[in-house]
Amino acid sequence: ELRYGSTLMRLDFVWLRDHCRSASCYNAKTNQRSLDTASVDLAIRPQAVRVDESTLFLTWPDGHVTRYGLEWLVKNSYEGQQKQVMHPRILWNAEIYRQAQVPSVDCRSFLETDEGLKEFLQNFLLYGIAFVENVTPTKEDTEILAERISIIRETIYGRMWYFTSDFSRGDTAYTKLALDRHTDTTYFQEPCGIQVFHCLKHEGTGGRTLLVDGFHAAEQVLRRAPEHFELLSRVPLKHEYVENVGGCHNHMIGVGPVLNVYPWNNELYLIRYNNYDRAVINTVPHDVVRRWYHAHRALTTELRRPENELWVKLKPGKALFVDNWRVLHGREAFTGYRQLCGCYLTRDDVLNTARLLGLQA
C-alpha cells in the first residue's frame, strides 16, 4: 500500500516489476515493453523499498532497480483510473446545446488548417456531433471532407452511399417515413463509430434530422434508477439485419448490451439502441426479462423527452458528423425528392487524428 495525496494505492509486486520503465525493460523510443512478462517470478518480492517525496525505489533480488514517479503511479494505478475519465464530454439536451452556441467550421478551414480541424474535432469529442459549412454539395466533395479525419469504412452499403426514398435497400431508412431515434449498425459486432450526412438536394417539405445525446439520457437513468442502468449495461442482446432485396442478400447479427461501460469506472462509452433492428430476446433468462423491459422503458422515456430532442434541417453545403456510439439520430417524414450522401468512418482513425493534434480522445 502506498498513499500519495488523497489516493491510497494497492500495488502488487509482480505488477511493479512488469511495468518497470528502465532502459532494459522498456523501449522509450518505441513506447513498447522489452521485458518478457512470463519470465517474472509470480512470487517476486523486492529486497529493498524506499520512498521519498516524489519517487518509489524498488531493488529486486537480482539487483535490478526500478524507479517510479509517484504521480505516474497515481495516474496509472487502478485506484487512480477509477477517478479518471477516459473521454471528457459535455452532456446535452436541446437547450444546453443551443446555449453553448457551438460554431460550425468552414470547409476551407477544416481542409486546409490544423486550427480549423482541431476546432472541429474538439466540438465533436465534447458533444458527439459537429458541422462543416460551405461544402460543395457533391458526393465527391463529401468524400474529401471525410478523408480529412479518417479512413472511410467499407460496409455492406458500400464506401460512399447515396440515400433516397427508393427502397433500394431492405431498410426503413430508404423510404419517406419518419424514423425514430436510433444508432446505426447495431447488428455489427463493432458498430460503426462515426457517420457522415450531407443533404445534396431536397425538393419538398419535412425531413428534419433528429439528434439525441444518448449519454445524457443514460446519465438520467443512472441518477434516477441505477438498477436499470446496471441491468442495461450487463445484459447482452442480439441485433439483426436481414435483407433480400434485388442483389443484396445479408444476414448480420451483432451481440452486446444496450449500454457499454468501462468496468473500472463505470464510464459509458457506447450505446447500442435500435428498436427496428433488435432481434428476438432469447439471451435473457426468464427471471430477468421483465426487469429488462422496465429498464429499457426507463431509457426510452429519457430518449423521448421533448427537451432532449435537437431538430436540425440539413441543407446542401452543411455536412453533419455524428458519433454513432453516443448520439442517436432520426428524422421526420418528408415529401418530394430528397437525396443524402454519406459514409461511415473508422473510429480509431478519428481518435488518432485528434490525439495527434493534442486533444484527449
* 227-252 tens-digit pLDDT: 999 999 999 999 999 988 888 899 99
**Residues 323 and 212 sit within 8 Å (Cβ to Cβ):** no
Confidence at residue 297, expressed as pLDDT on a 0 to 100 scale: 98
Confidence at residue 197, expressed as pLDDT on a 0 to 100 scale: 96
Q: Is the pLDDT of residue 68 over 80?
A: yes
- Of 172-176, 251-255, 299-303, give the lowest mean pLDDT range: 172-176
Q: How confident is the model at residue 165 (pLDDT cuts 50, 70, 90)?
A: low
- Reference 341, options 185, 146, 211; nearest CA is 146
**Amino acid in position 272:** R
Confidence at residue 319, expressed as pLDDT on a 0 to 100 scale: 97
Per-residue pLDDT of 36-65, as tens digits, reads 999 999 999 999 999 999 999 999 999 999
Confidence at residue 245, expressed as pLDDT on a 0 to 100 scale: 84
Q: Is the pLDDT of residue 169 over 50?
A: no
Beta-carbon contacts of 149 under 8 Å, excluding residues fewer than 6 positions away, are 117, 120, 121, 345, 349, 350, 353
Instruction: Calculate mean pLDDT across residues 146-159.
Output: 94
Confidence at residue 355, expressed as pLDDT on a 0 to 100 scale: 96
Strands 2-4 and 105-106: unpaired
> CA-based angle 274:279:283, to the nearest 5?
115
Per-residue pLDDT of 260-307, as tens digits, reads 999 999 999 999 999 999 999 999 999 999 999 999 999 999 999 999
- Residue showing cell 450526412: 197
Beta-carbon contacts of 315 under 8 Å, excluding residues fewer than 6 positions away, are 199, 202
Largest CA distance in the chain: 79
- Of 35-49, 168-182, 314-328, give the lowest mean pLDDT range: 168-182
Confidence at residue 244, expressed as pLDDT on a 0 to 100 scale: 85
Instruction: Calculate mean pLDDT across residues 305-331.
Output: 96
Confidence at residue 348, expressed as pLDDT on a 0 to 100 scale: 95
- Residue showing cell 442517436: 328
Per-residue pLDDT of 114-143, as tens digits, reads 999 999 999 999 999 999 999 999 999 999
Instruction: Calculate mean pLDDT across residues 338-353.
Output: 94
Q: Is the pLDDT of residue 225 over 70?
A: yes
- Of 137-141, 191-195, 330-334, give the lowest mean pLDDT range: 330-334
- Of 25-29, 38-42, 289-293, 330-334, give the lowest mean pLDDT range: 330-334
d(CA 104, CA 116): 10
Confidence at residue 167, expressed as pLDDT on a 0 to 100 scale: 47
Q: Is the pLDDT of residue 174 over 70?
A: no
**Amino acid in position 161:** W
Domains of the chain (ranges; CATH) run 2-82 (3.30.2020.30), 94-357 (3.60.130.10)
| Rounded percentage of the chain residues whose pLDDT exceeds 70 | 97
Q: Can you say whether residue 207 is alpha, beta or left, with left for phi > 0 and alpha for psi between -120 and 50 degrees?
A: left
d(CA 91, CA 310): 13
